[in-house]
Amino acid sequence: MKEENGKCEVVSLGELLIDLIPHHDYTADAPSYEAKVGGAPINVLSGLAKWGHTTAYISKVGNDAFGGYLRKQVKGANINVDYVLTERSAPTTVAIVSLDEEKNRTFDFIRNPGADQLLTKDEIQWGLIREAEVFHFGSLSLTHHPSREATLAVLKYAKENHKTISYDPNYRPLLWENQDEAKRWMVEGLKWADIVKISDEEVQFITNEEDALMASQVLAETHHIPLLVMTKGKEGALVVCNGHVLEEDGHTVQPVDTTGAGDCFMASVLHQFLVKNKSIQELTEQDLADMLQFANRVAAYSTTVKGGFSVVPPLDEFEKIIRGVQHV
């Protein structure tokens, strides 16, 4: 195990891939795509880095042009890439993004396996985790071996070292063997988490409960999640924390691409948590309301630009931008 002295506020582990997003001249007869940095956890870090937080990412890319592109772009976004390793036996993962008429996205993956799946626990640099304030992860690193074992090992180490653990259980059906396997490992992630951002669809998938509000409360209680935020797309979001259940309406925008909107929301939640400089148990009802309002506005804005990486505005520009973002 290698030890590192560098300290970051937020360290994350997960997929680092290429999102191929439809180009503006895309047609069914002549499909055309543009490459963007992809991966939910790296999108989260890009928002936090934009807002001045120190961040580092643990992942793998292939020894190929896409891998070099990803490393350069991530480093350019002020995220520490020293822990992004190169895998010579597998290519960088590619996700093909499809957008419907409302600009909602679905994913197809080229990864069998992708480099990110081949991260092993022996390649983790434990000092990085030990010095962090927050460890953030998603469910995609739990889909296959050996990245699953690496993720679980880091979760155990982070918990033993009293780190705040945040989690986004993204559900991508094509990456799981079946629904039961997906539920099993998505729920396993919930068992470790202090902060969870989850969509209403994912809550319903895990609980089989049609009432998303009830399901989110049951999920928080069942898995002892101190701070759970459920997003509802354009309808807004709600938070369950410290006996409070607060809801915030969505905002009206003209969407271009919803890719990464949830990741921008997650970044906003972690940003608010860090700047308030309180334990989760100390968060007040007003703190939670501030968190929801900020996150909803950032997520709405993010849908007006393509991609999910480094799309949030700097904080000094944010107030100018949101003047044009109104409640539904």
What CATH code is carried by the domain that includes residue 172? 3.40.1190.20
pTM for this predicted structure: 0.92
- Domain membership of residue 328 (yes or no) is no
- Domain membership of residue 249 (yes or no) is yes
The four Cα atoms 259, 261, 263, 269 give a dihedral, to 10 degrees, of 180
- Domain membership of residue 229 (yes or no) is yes
Structure tokens at 13: 């582990």
Residue 323 is predicted with a pLDDT of 61
Residue 189 is predicted with a pLDDT of 98
Distance separating the N- and C-terminal Cα atoms of the chain: 51
Name the domain count of the chain: 1
Nearest to 255 by CA among 225, 233, 240: 233
- Domain membership of residue 4 (yes or no) is no
Residue 25 is predicted with a pLDDT of 82
Quick one: which H or E segment has residue 164? strand 164-168
pLDDT band at 255 (very low <50, low <70, confident <90, very high): confident
Interval 310-326 mean pLDDT:
74
- Domain membership of residue 37 (yes or no) is yes
- Residues spanned by the domain of 19: 10-321
- Whole-angstrom CA distances from 209 to 147, 200, 213, 263 are 30, 10, 9, 24
